[in-house]
Structure 1
Amino acid sequence: MKILLAAIKKAWHWLTSMRTALALMFLLALGAAPGALLPQRSLNEDNVTEYLKNNGKIAEIYDKLQLFDVFSSTWFNSIAVLLFISLIGCILPRSLDHYKQLKTRPVRAPKNLSRLPLNAVGIVNKPLPEVEQHITTLFKGWHLAAYTKEEDRAGQRSFSAEKGYSRELYNLLFHLGLVGMLVAMAIGRMVYYEGQVIVIASDRDDVNSQFCNTATANFDSFRAGLLFDGTGLNTYCLDVHNFSANYLPNGQADSFRSDVSYAVGDEINTDSASWKHQEISVNHPLRLGGDRVYLQGHGFAPTFTIKWPNGEERTQTVQFRPDDLTFFLSSGVVRFDPPAGMYPDLYERRQHQITIQGLFAPTAAWSGDNNDILSSSYPAMNDPAVAIDIYRGDNGLDSGTSQNIFTIDPTQVHTGQLQKIERVNLTKQQSVTLDDGTEITFVGAEEFANFQVSYDPTQYWVLVFTIVSLGALVGSLTVKRRRIWVRLEPVSDTETRVETAGLARTDRAGWGEEYHKIHRQLLGLPDPDDDDDDDAGQ
């Protein structure tokens, strides 16, 4: 039992040492590196799946090591917990020692002050009581203690003065700030939520350009902490009027912006014309009730109109996925259901559903032998065009199963559920007529904006603790811990021998100058700089 207790005590001392805390901080920083270099499931599971597919055995090893889930991995969180315990174990004993030190008198002067690196001796034309009073005044603000002849090691009247206790206080505040950041971030990860949503930016009446933060189902993707139960969202709605981007000649984006109007709470039920307006741009989010609405990206949503043989029309504007993030060549799928009255029989109606799959280019560039291969030459919508395959058949709109909004399920084509009936390239306002008289028109396109809604009530606490840590770090680097001893010996009733010595508890940079200045003030000697000024004046 004693051996076990001794081992536990030894392990605790090892864990709570400053050296261990620094090592754990280094390991935590090193462990975070894979989270920045490798795709993470929490951010984009599709990227992780593609990485696993392309990198074989090494990717499988990474997966077993939880390198695709770094910040939720067992090993990363274990390091974080050990670091937290280590910092607490370092701070508490040091705080107690610092408090005791503040209550303790500075150490008595050594017997032989001349052995110290900074020392000096002089005679002052003042009696001993006046010199003692001068010392008390001169060391105001220092931690000062007076020792009698009986207490002094050399048997003389002496004083001990110490300054720079705030250096240790700054060190403690620095570590408390680190602990505060860890606690705040841990709490934040338990209660936060973050969602992604794509909203088509348009003022057209037939386009849904609104998003309401009223339910998690309204997001395209959503993740939250363990303590978030899906309720308690801050209630507000956005109406996205437009999206605009400025591009450099090489196609690189220079700036993004989107004009939105919004309403909070009961204001949602009012006329949207009375909603408040604001511009959202990169790094300038809209802040609503603790939420931050960021503009993260954009893309294009082509508009297609189908005129059925009976004369009825249907129009859809659906976002396409940007496959080329430079010139925004995009791919996607648009699915149409025939008008209800055209085919009373449900089976027959399903056989006449239309699916459009293809590419969209905001600024079309054509190549190939017949000049029929579409690509994009610029990210702005200067000359939009599409290259599409048109399918007829059961596209699964009313099957009750979810479908990828950007691609067709290949099994639908392989089994004949969908049959390709046309492949065509269309520019804006061009149409194609199918064999049954159905006319499909490429009307144009709208831009969509990708918004991220983030909520983390601890972000301000993280900021506060970060500022505290940085301020304390600066303080710990600038404050110097130093001591001065003064030993007095009366020579006569009007003269006193003054011996001083100084010692820097940390580094000596700039300390010698301060020590000599104090010694000259004790002896009533002029400052050498003042003498130089007088010589220059003469």
Structure 2
Amino acid sequence: MTDLQQRPSDDRQATALPPDLTVRELGRWTWRQLTSMRTALVLLLLLAFAAIPGSVIPQEDIDSLAVSQWRDDHPRLAPIWDRLDLFSVYGSVWFSAIYLLLMVSLVGCIIPRLLVYARALRARPPRAPRHLSRLPESASYTTGDAPEAVLGRAADVLRGRRFRVEPDDGAVAAERGYLREAGNLVFHLAVIVVLVGVAAGSLFGYKGGVIMLNGEDYGFSNNLTQYDDFAPGALFDPDVMEPFSFSITDFQVDWLTEGQRAGMAREFVAELAYETEPGSGTKSYDLKVNHPLTIGGTDVFLIGHGYAPVITVRDGEGEVTKSGPVVFLPTNAQTFESFGVVKAPFARPEQIGLEGTFYPTFAMGEDAEGNLSMPGSIWGDALDPLISMSVWTGDLGVDDGSASSVYVLDKAGATQVTEADGRPFRLDLRPGETAKLPDGLGTVTFDGLERWNKIQISRSPGKLVALAGVVLALLGLLGSLFVRPRRMWVRARRQDDGTTLVEVARLDRSSGGDPEDGAAELAAVVAALQGADDDTTTSNEKEQQP
């Protein structure tokens, strides 16, 4: 009975749990985990993975038109993407959390290492080992000079080779290559600088886009009302916006004529006429891809172009209800086949909506049997332009003449116009042609063709800080890769026969050092101690090598 009664007690003692952590101990453990190099690497990897959706999925602050089109094409996925902030990845809570945790982790990881490195800079080289001959790279010789003279000459020789020298008891200790660890620290510090620069640009800067028609009749002024889409930083101040203005006076495109990409735009240039501020005088600039116009702290980029057919819509009463260029968005980057919408909300007796495709160089395709198939464009240049559109009437979702999107036709309350036999009615027009709509709805005229350019304007206050961080990172990486830390010791002691035994040893602390280079450096130091010239000794050693 006694054994049975004691056994449960023994089991409880064997399985006793450790005491709970106090709040201070838990905080210290959490801080150590967060500021470990392993955690910093994991967070850096997570940040890279988190940026992938921002590169794959269209972003609101970069191309709101592409986001609208993506929502229309994926009506089921769009609400899920919205909840996950995948259309605004870089401004989402989860991306910001990873970003901030990475900065805290790097700061907590690097600052202690900086303190350790500062102490290492003041530390003397380690004392000479007792048996220098046991080191992988060592040499010895005898001389009639006194040990003190040999050690003095050794200190001078090693200092001349940029070693840090400290006298030892009967020996000289030297070390070189402190900048290797400095390179590692500079690299990690540069990562923080880059993150700070990017964060400053995101907080205080802004980015916006506008589609501009070419010609002096169309202009842009740098204020909030002029943008098609605008993404300010969390701490953005509108007062920092430079009061410049510009217009696109001309646009030139160089088309590829040979190869598989024939018909694509190889290079395009928009000629700008701009003023840095009202009354400052007009200047000109050739705006190209990757060659932005910089005004103050703001950059103006050319990121795209397309066609804007000039269309006139007359209603059943003969009144012009829509006239002017209409922006069509490219759906094919090579042929510039484009999609667009024309709305005439004030047409009578019913509203008129047009939806269709613009072909810069129209051609009918052929199937394998030679029969005509789907139409298309075979060239990006407007050599034979044609516009093909369907017609809708009724409620187009337009309120007071304005629509939620000029690139989308709301057909929920509209009816498609058909032929007498019930087939959908289509307009196929070339420049200068007019088509009459059925049922006395009016006419549509394709008057001509204009061009448009997509301009992106951004201000990133931290870009120079980020650039400095990248340069520091490269310098630090070069230092950590090419600086080789190594130590050398020279010991001299008097022997019984009156001569002095000199022992020299070298220790390479880097894993990538060349053994031949180490042997050559050791031989050069020994030759210098014996009174020979360094360059002559090195040359003789190279001649003796097989």
State the TM bucket, normalised to the shorter chain: 0.7 to 0.9
Which whole-Å CA distance do the structure 1 matches of 2:442 and 2:72 have between them?
39
Which whole-Å CA distance do the structure 2 matches of 1:413 and 1:535 have between them?
94
- Give the secondary-structure state (helix, strand or coil) at the position aligned to 1:500: strand
- Give the secondary-structure state (helix, strand or coil) at the position aligned to 2:408: coil
Structure 2 counterpart of 1:255:
267
121-130 vs 157-166, which moves further:
121-130
- Give yes or no for contact 1:35–1:67 (8 Å, CA) kept in 2: yes
Which whole-Å CA distance do the structure 2 matches of 1:174 and 1:32 have between them?
22
Residue 93 of structure 1 and its aligned partner are, at CA, apart by 1.3
Closer/same/farther in 2, CA of residues 503 and 426 from structure 1, 3 Å limit: same
Structure 2 counterpart of 1:288:
295
Q: Is residue 2:47 matched to residue 1:17?
A: no
For 1:484, which of 482, 485, 488 is the aligned residue?
488
Structure 1 counterpart of 2:3:
none
Which whole-Å CA distance do the structure 2 matches of 1:498 and 1:53 have between them?
84
Residue 120 of structure 1 and its aligned partner are, at CA, apart by 1.8
- Give the secondary-structure state (helix, strand or coil) at the position aligned to 1:228: coil
285-294 vs 501-510, which moves further:
501-510
TM-score, normalisation: structure 1: 0.82
- Give the secondary-structure state (helix, strand or coil) at the position aligned to 1:462: helix
- Give yes or no for contact 1:374–1:386 (8 Å, CA) kept in 2: no
Gaps spanning 5+ residues in structure 2: where?
1-19
Closer/same/farther in 2, CA of residues 47 and 503 from structure 1, 3 Å limit: farther
Which whole-Å CA distance do the structure 1 matches of 2:333 and 2:522 have between them?
64
Which whole-Å CA distance do the structure 1 matches of 2:235 and 2:541 have between them?
71
Residue 394 of structure 1 and its aligned partner are, at CA, apart by 7.4
**Counterpart mapping for 1:71-82 below 5 A:** 71-82=90-101
**Counterpart mapping for 1:172-183 below 5 A:** 172-183=185-196
497-506 vs 126-135, which moves further:
126-135
Structure 1 counterpart of 2:220:
211
For 1:49, which of 55, 71, 75 is the aligned residue?
71
Residue 160 of structure 1 aligns with an amino acid whose one-letter code is A
Gaps spanning 5+ residues in structure 1: where?
149-156, 339-348
- Give yes or no for contact 1:198–1:449 (8 Å, CA) kept in 2: yes
Which whole-Å CA distance do the structure 2 matches of 1:483 and 1:225 have between them?
52
Residue 523 of structure 1 aligns with an amino acid whose one-letter code is Q
Task: Give me the CA root mean square deviation.
Answer: 3.6
- Give the secondary-structure state (helix, strand or coil) at the position aligned to 1:195: strand
- Give the secondary-structure state (helix, strand or coil) at the position aligned to 1:131: helix
Closer/same/farther in 2, CA of residues 234 and 22 from structure 1, 3 Å limit: same
| Deviations 1:216-241, CA, capped at 9 Å, x for gaps | 22111111111114443211111112
Residue 27 of structure 1 aligns with an amino acid whose one-letter code is L
Which whole-Å CA distance do the structure 2 matches of 1:127 and 1:515 have between them?
22
- Give the secondary-structure state (helix, strand or coil) at the position aligned to 1:461: helix
360-369 vs 180-189, which moves further:
360-369
Residue 462 of structure 1 and its aligned partner are, at CA, apart by 0.5
| Deviations 1:92-139, CA, capped at 9 Å, x for gaps | 111111111221221211222222222222113423333233122112
Q: Is residue 2:37 matched to residue 1:29?
A: no
Q: Is residue 2:203 matched to residue 1:190?
A: yes
For 2:363, which of 358, 362, 365 is the aligned residue?
365
| Deviations 1:342-365, CA, capped at 9 Å, x for gaps | xxxxxxx76476554433221122
Residue 267 of structure 1 and its aligned partner are, at CA, apart by 2.8
| Deviations 1:4-53, CA, capped at 9 Å, x for gaps | 43333333233323233223322322333343344445544335535753
Structure 2 counterpart of 1:343:
none
Residue 383 of structure 1 and its aligned partner are, at CA, apart by 1.3
Structure 2 counterpart of 1:153:
none
Structure 2 counterpart of 1:143:
164
Which whole-Å CA distance do the structure 2 matches of 1:535 and 1:30 have between them?
55
Closer/same/farther in 2, CA of residues 371 and 5 from structure 1, 3 Å limit: closer
- Give yes or no for contact 1:196–1:222 (8 Å, CA) kept in 2: yes
TM-score, normalisation: structure 2: 0.81
Closer/same/farther in 2, CA of residues 67 and 412 from structure 1, 3 Å limit: closer
Closer/same/farther in 2, CA of residues 79 and 534 from structure 1, 3 Å limit: closer
Which whole-Å CA distance do the structure 2 matches of 1:14 and 1:397 have between them?
57
Which whole-Å CA distance do the structure 1 matches of 2:537 and 2:526 have between them?
13
Closer/same/farther in 2, CA of residues 227 and 400 from structure 1, 3 Å limit: farther
Which whole-Å CA distance do the structure 2 matches of 1:358 and 1:97 have between them?
68
Residue 22 of structure 1 aligns with an amino acid whose one-letter code is L
Structure 1 counterpart of 2:12:
none
- Give the secondary-structure state (helix, strand or coil) at the position aligned to 2:51: helix
Structure 1 counterpart of 2:11:
none
Structure 2 counterpart of 1:325:
333
For 2:252, which of 236, 244, 265 is the aligned residue?
244
Residue 406 of structure 2 aligns with an amino acid whose one-letter code is I
- Give yes or no for contact 2:397–2:410 (8 Å, CA) kept in 1: no
Closer/same/farther in 2, CA of residues 336 and 32 from structure 1, 3 Å limit: closer
| Deviations 1:470-500, CA, capped at 9 Å, x for gaps | 1110111111111111111134999532112
Closer/same/farther in 2, CA of residues 39 and 240 from structure 1, 3 Å limit: closer
Closer/same/farther in 2, CA of residues 411 and 70 from structure 1, 3 Å limit: closer
68-77 vs 99-108, which moves further:
68-77
Which whole-Å CA distance do the structure 2 matches of 1:466 and 1:263 have between them?
33
Structure 1 counterpart of 2:459:
455
Residue 436 of structure 1 and its aligned partner are, at CA, apart by 6.3
- Give yes or no for contact 2:492–2:500 (8 Å, CA) kept in 1: yes
Residue 180 of structure 1 aligns with an amino acid whose one-letter code is V
Which whole-Å CA distance do the structure 2 matches of 1:355 and 1:370 have between them?
32
Residue 404 of structure 1 aligns with an amino acid whose one-letter code is S
Which whole-Å CA distance do the structure 1 matches of 2:503 and 2:279 have between them?
79
Closer/same/farther in 2, CA of residues 51 and 172 from structure 1, 3 Å limit: farther
Closer/same/farther in 2, CA of residues 125 and 185 from structure 1, 3 Å limit: same
- Give the secondary-structure state (helix, strand or coil) at the position aligned to 2:156: helix
Structure 1 counterpart of 2:17:
none
